[in-house]
Amino acid sequence: MSEATRDATSQPYSGFDRMPIGGDWRVGKADRTLKDFDPYTGQVILEIPQCIRADLDTAYECAARTQVAWGQALPGMRATVMLRASEILKSRRHEVISWLIRESGSTRLKATLEYEATHAVMVWAASAPYLAEGSELPTDIPGKEGRAVRKPVGVVGVISPWNWPLHLSNRTLAPALAVGNTAVVKPASDTPITGGLLLAKIYEEAGLPPGVLNVVIGPGSEIGDAFVTHPVPRVISFTGSTPVGRHIAELAAKSPILKRVELELGGNGPFVVLEDADIEQTLEAAVFGKFLHQGQICIAVNRFIVDDRIHDDFVQRFVERVRALKVGNPDEPDTFIGPIINETQLKGLLERIEEARASGARQLFGGGPDGLVLPPHVFDDVTNSMPLAQNEIFGPIAPFIRVHGDAEALEIANATQHGLAGAVFTRDLERGEQFARQLEIGMVHVNDQPVIDLPNSPFGGEKNSGLGRFNGRWAIDAFTADQWLTVQHTPHHLPFDARQVTGAWAA
């Protein structure tokens, strides 16, 4: 059955001006609306009445009530919901991809990759209810059995970003729901549909009970801090910038009830090219890893670190490939670079370009914006002390740093406060692995582009790039808690007279 035929069997989702809160789809109580824009056309897709604190309270309170029954549901029931959700997502492939293109400015290539990543996590999550395993703990007391049982944490609060909204919301939601938690999601204001409401429709159609998944859309000034400090959620999952992540960690530590935080934050990904690298393979990975989704990806390449012996040739051939990239309408299948998400992001990128020129970097390729579409920019003669190399770019700007040998390449790659993702390219795989093991980052790829996210991988960073690990069994660890349980099967007498001890304490 073709993609179009599958989608034709279901009516497109509607009613995105309402949110699933407290078991019903309802309008937010704020007296202002959120305008959801198409970043390429500038047209308003939808206006959504926003939430106030009372809506947030309702969402969390409902999530807490429904969690008891959902947590006690048989693993097979929760697994079935995940499998159904994956099939529904598959049947609505065209609809989902279209929303990603329209709302987040994704090119058709990127939207397809995001759909596939989301689907893979849903399929994997069907196994998660059976992976929340306990263990038997040996004891030295006759007749006593010790156990470590794994329980859902309760309610999970999810704050998701706008760049990969569907996948990065679902990456937390799928495993958290599968192991028996309920959730409240606060999607980014640029992507309320793909970051929350669309997933809620899919899970609802899959049979997820009302109230298990809630979505709140509102300004940070109204519900942002309260989303974290609210006494109900036990875990806050956040994907976004390092400054905001730090703020969330501080709020979680100071909240009335301490809670765990799972943070995937900014990156400054090094892409190291050693002198023996396969140039054609490396160029393909370099262009893809830098410019997919206009570079608006936390694990995108941020700095190209190239050995002096091949630097000039590599940069020249890189520019030639960049020159051939199609820039413009993200809905056209051969477009590789589409729009920046909003005016604020575009303004920041233009400031970075001017800053790079002023600091002495040599521009090899570039151009002015057309609306929110910014063509790719390439800078050479960049040093690692320049702002362009020290800050996360989050846009289609490629800085090149020249190095002399492996030792300098490693030193520069590690000379950053971030440590999320990176790559090294060499024909000598043993050399590449040894180099990779010395990188101070959470995810390292040898001869592979860094823009990947597998459902069974320990996704996460070091240093200022985050806390915790996402995906696979690491996600189960994040959204469950161990409880120590003892069972005394036969009477056991203490090796002393408890009354004597009690009397001594009383005296």
Buried b (16+ CB within 10 A) or exposed e, 476-489: bbbbbeeeeeeeee
Catalytic residue, chosen from 264, 320, 355, 392, is: 264
The answer for residues whose C-beta is within 8 angstroms of residue 24's C-beta and 6 or more apart is 210
| Separation between Cα atoms, residue 137 and residue 484, nearest integer Å | 9
| CB 388, CB 382: distance < 8 Å | yes
Q: Which amino acid is located at 285 in the chain?
A: A
Catalytic residue, chosen from 3, 298, 408, 440, is: 298
Residue 332 falls in the annotated catalytic set? no
Buried b (16+ CB within 10 A) or exposed e, 257-292: eebbbbbbbbbbbbbbbbbebebeebbebbbbbbbb
Q: Three-state DSSP class for 210? A: coil
Q: Count of CB atoms within 10 A of residue 256's CB?
A: 8
Spatial CA neighbour of 124 closest among 116, 112, 113? 116
Tokens standing for 292? 């997919």
User: Residue 164: phi, psi to the nearest 5?
Assistant: -125, 65
**Cα angle, residue 358 at apex, residues 352 and 363 outer, rounded to 5°:** 75
The answer for residues whose C-beta is within 8 angstroms of residue 241's C-beta and 6 or more apart is 265, 266, 392
Tokens standing for 184? 């409240």
Residue 51 falls in the annotated catalytic set? no
| Separation between Cα atoms, residue 266 and residue 298, nearest integer Å | 6
- Sign for the CA dihedral angle at 339, 340, 344, 350 comes to negative
Q: Three-state DSSP class for 270? A: strand
Please give the positions annotated as active site. 264, 298
